[in-house]
Amino acid sequence: MKKFAIILSGCGVYDGSEIHETVLTMLAIDQSKASYQIFAPDIDHTHVVNHLTGEEMKETRNVLTESARIARGNALPLSDLKVKDFNALIFPGVFLAAKNLSTYAFEGKTFKVNPQVEKVVREAIENKTLIGALCISPVILARIIENVRLTIGNDPATNENLKEMGVETVDTTHGEIVVDEKNKVYSTPCYMLESSISQIADGANNLIKKMMNDLND
């Protein structure tokens, strides 16, 4: 049975992992007769956002604890992730590029990536472990993997930032998958495009199907 590690950054699009993309990725993996384990860094949220108003809340929440909501309790610290035990890593998306996993949302092109995230991505590249990324989360990979090829849909500002970083971006529409054959990176735009929840399911299904095909080759 193929094993996926899903790396989360909380629970909610505006300050953590996008919930629909995460749940529909879990479903796609389970429907492909593969298994998954959820991981998240055991750190404080960069900030907490009221999802009704969009305003910042004066609260502190823990990324691992909040990620456990989507995982029904079964979430592990990212520091426990042994990449060699998995066939693939998956990063669901989050508003403005993986708050909690990187600083892109706050610092733009000069952003930094969480060191635990950088470590597992580098191990995945070394081990030829597949890496999947939905929505804006390919931006994280752009900082770590030189000249990576990926999609973030067709957002001009993000594309411009990525091109300046030497990334080959490919414009895509709903449900399309871009594969970087050299680095084994699979990406799909999901909510980087104005989407229905069915289109998010299509993106997640197509991503996992393509990764499973390549794993079974």
**Contacts with its own copies, residue ranges (CB under 8 A):** 11-14, 18-20, 23-24, 26-27, 30-31, 50-52, 54, 59, 64-66, 68-73, 75, 196-198, 201
Beta bridge partners of 38: 6, 75
11 noted as active-site residue: no
| Cβ closest to its own copies, residue 179 vs residue 200 | 200
Q: Which long-range contacts (CB under 8 A, 24 or more apart) does 157-165 make?
A: 158/97, 158/192, 161/108, 161/109, 164/109, 165/109
Residues 6+ apart with CB under 8 A from 75: 8, 38, 39, 40, 64, 67, 68
| Choice between 31 and 127, CB closer to its own copies | 31
Q: How far is the CB of 45 from its own copies (least distance, A)?
A: 13
Q: Measure Cα distances from 198 to 21, 24, 33, 202 in Å.
A: 11, 10, 21, 6
Closer to its own copies by CB, 22 or 161: give it: 22
Q: Of 29, 70, 135, 140, which is the active-site residue?
A: 135
Question: What are the CB-based long-range contacts (under 8 Å, 24+) for 153-158?
Answer: 153/189, 153/192, 153/193, 154/189, 154/192, 154/193, 155/192, 158/97, 158/192
| Minimal distance, residue 212 CB to its own copies, in Å | 15
What is the closest distance, in whole angstroms, from the C-beta atom of residue 213 to its own copies in the complex?
Answer: 19
CB of 200 to its own copies, least distance (A): 8
Q: How many C-beta neighbours within 10 Å does residue 23 have?
A: 17
CB atoms within 10 A of CB 8: 30
Minimum CB distance to its own copies smaller for 65 or for 159: 65
In the complex with its own copies, which residue's Cβ is closer, 34 or 142?
34
The two three-digit tokens of residue 87, written as one number: 């066939």
* Residue linked to tokens 């300046």: 164
CB of 181 to its own copies, least distance (A): 30
Kindly list the catalytic residues. 135
